[in-house]
């Protein structure tokens, strides 16, 4: 049963994510990016204290992924009480706002702590068995290059 005001709240959540056009569309005809917007809007309806984003951007093209990351950044800024756990294998998706991190390989914690300590070339080499060089852009994001 729909609660009073629930539909309007859902529309506002989708609007915040630039997904208001999805309000009446069936999920099975949406793209991966649209589905993610819908699922995040749905999760935010209950004003959670914790949001776990597990490989959320894996099926997104580069522009959809960048939009998604900017949305996560805005969400964190607008809702400082919300704890976000962001799980990814893509180093370039780890935004500067994520101040703590952990690298796990085969169930073993290789490194944990502050973002800039954890995201080191040595730790990434251990995690992936690759000769990884990190390039940091002006925004503070790291981009891995295999040498």
Predicted confidence band of residue 114 (pLDDT cuts 50, 70, 90): very high
Angle between helix 62-78 and helix 32-44 axes, rounded to 10 deg: 10
Residue 50 parent element (H or E): strand 50-54
Task: Give pLDDT tens digits for 24-61.
Answer: 899 999 988 889 888 889 898 889 999 999 999 888 88
How far apart are alpha carbons 27 and 36 in whole angstroms? 10
Name 100's Cβ contacts closer than 8 Å, sequence gap at least 6. 112, 113, 114, 115, 118
Strands 50-54 and 83-87: parallel
pLDDT value at residue 136: 95
Question: What is the model's pLDDT at position 119?
Answer: 95
Q: Residue 116: which of 100, 129, 128, 127 has the closest Cα? A: 100
With CA atoms as reference, report the closest residue to 41 among 63, 67, 9, 69.
Answer: 9
pLDDT reported for residue 58: 87
Whether the predicted pLDDT of 130 surpasses 90: yes
Cross-strand bridge partners of residue 100: 114
Per-residue pLDDT, 13: 86
pTM of the model as a whole: 0.84
Of 139, 136, 131, give the one whose Cα is nearest residue 119. Answer: 136
């Amino acid at each position: 049963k729909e609660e009073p005001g629930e539909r309007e709240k859902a529309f506002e959540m989708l609007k915040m994510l630039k997904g208001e056009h999805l309000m009446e569309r069936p999920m099975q005809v949406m793209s991966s990016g649209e589905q993610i917007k819908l699922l995040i809007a749905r999760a935010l309806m209950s004003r959670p204290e914790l949001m776990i984003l597990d490989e959320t951007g894996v099926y997104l093209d580069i522009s959809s992924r960048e939009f998604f990351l900017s949305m996560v950044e805005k969400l964190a800024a607008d809702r400082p009480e919300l704890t976000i756990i962001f799980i990814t294998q893509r180093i370039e998706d780890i935004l500067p706002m994520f101040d703590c991190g952990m690298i796990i390989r085969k169930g073993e914690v290789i490194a944990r702590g502050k973002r800039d300590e954890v995201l080191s070339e040595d730790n990434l080499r251990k995690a992936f068995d690759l000769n990884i060089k990190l390039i940091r852009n002006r925004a503070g994001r790291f981009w891995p290059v295999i040498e």
